[in-house]
Amino acid sequence: MKKGFNSRNFGMLALMFLFLVFAGISCKNQSKPSQDDQEKTRDKATEQAADSSSEHLKASAPDTTGMVYFEAGRFMMGNEGGAPDQQPVHEQQVKPFYLDKHPVTVAEFRRFVEETGYSTDADSYGNAGVFLFDQGRWNLVDGANWEYPLGPSGPKAKENHPVTQVSWRDARAYCQWAGKQLPSEQQWEYAATNGGKLEARYPWGNNKVQTNGRYRANVWQGTIQNPKVADGFKLTSPVGHYGEHPSGLSDMAGNVWEWCRDVYHAYPGSQASIRENTKVRVIRGGSFFYDQAGAESYSVTYRSKNTIETSLFNLGFRCAYNPDR
């Protein structure tokens, strides 16, 4: 077990700090092409290593039960009024695909681990990211993993809640085992907008998350110092607890951030200064935990990011399946 404050730990702590900051901040371009070329080579090697890490997993025949089918189509992706990385709005063509109705649950992930003997990044490193509410700070907690997302002294993860403390590499390994893939960022936003038919801020429409006394998603209320639990849950909630969106999906906003397949990048024609790095992937949907972006974090166009080895107590995933692949 690799423990201690190594370079991975430092990087994760830095990212966990940035997790509380509005995701408009991006890396500046380096001025030396030779250094860029070297880093691209290292990034490619990292990607190839991630590709080979789960090749031993046997992909089963994909089961589309519990998935929602989306027909091919075009839609306008992005938000002209959003952060720079959400601009400009641009047209995207999407092929037909299926998307899991809800995030992968603890029970579903347990079956994967039991059948394959898979060890997650959190298990391998010996720790994972947890926000310590009593201390008001993020920390890498020894023993925190998908079964005990707060650490060994915390409660065991509930079977019908989204699995957390899974890295991008873990999520992809699960998808491969299931005969599926992580969704592309285009697929995720297309699905969140009901195949491009829902021109609204949130997956359920333009109404606020609390409408007529009813919450539509598991999101943060109050402050870090004084959290409220008006929606019924301080941490994760059972999948589907708040009902379905017009798309037939659930939990596309709040509950847990969701990994996407894509490298975090600037949109075509964007003014955002983003240096692509294969170790940094897109996450979507917001979570139950505080985000400085507030309600914008669980909108259909909001984008954030994290590194492929990062595991956090509010980060999960769902799978997609491309039938024509």
Q: Confidence class of residue 16 from pLDDT cuts 50, 70 and 90?
A: low
Of residues 42 and 102, more confidently modeled: 102
* 93 domain residue, yes or no: yes
Q: 324 falls in which pLDDT band (50, 70, 90)?
A: confident
Q: Is the pLDDT of residue 132 over 50?
A: yes
**259 domain residue, yes or no:** yes
171-194 pLDDT, tens digit each: 999 999 999 999 999 999 999 999
CATH of the domain at 53: 3.90.1580.10
In a domain, 157, yes or no: yes
Mean pLDDT for the stretch of residues 83-87: 97
Rounded Cα distance between 17 and 15, Å, is 5
29, part of any domain: no
Is there a domain that residue 20 lies in? no
Element of type H or E holding 53? helix 33-53
Whether residue 66 lies inside any domain: the answer is yes
Report d(CA 115, CA 107) in Å as an integer.
12
Q: What is the pLDDT of residues 214-227, one digit of tens each?
A: 999 999 999 998 99
- Look at residues 264, 90, 260 and name the one whose alpha carbon lies nearest to residue 185: 260
pLDDT at 97: 98
Number of domains in the chain: 1
- CA of 299: how far to CAs of 87, 180, 276, in Å? 14, 25, 23
pLDDT, position 267: 97
Q: Is the pLDDT of residue 3 over 50?
A: no
Q: 36 lies in a domain?
A: no
Range of the domain at 136: 46-321
Share of the chain above pLDDT 90, in %: 79
How many other CB atoms are found less than 10 A from the CB of residue 107?
Answer: 13
pLDDT of 52 above 60: no
| Position 89 in a domain | yes
- Count Cβ atoms below 10 Å from residue 2 Cβ, excluding itself: 10
Instruction: Read off the pLDDT of residues 134-149 as tens digits, 9 standing for 90 and up.
Output: 999 999 999 999 999 9
Q: Which residue did the predictor score with more confidence, 123 or 43? A: 123
Count of other CB atoms within 10 angstroms of residue 244: 16
SS3 298: helix
Average pLDDT over residues 154-158: 98
Say yes or no to pLDDT of 32 above 80: no
3-state secondary structure of 91: strand
β-strand partners of 253: none
Q: What percent of the chain has pLDDT over 70?
A: 81
Among candidate residues 164, 206, 123, the one with its CA nearest the CA of residue 306: 164
Q: Strands 67-70 and 227-228: what pairing?
A: unpaired
pTM > 0.95: yes or no: no
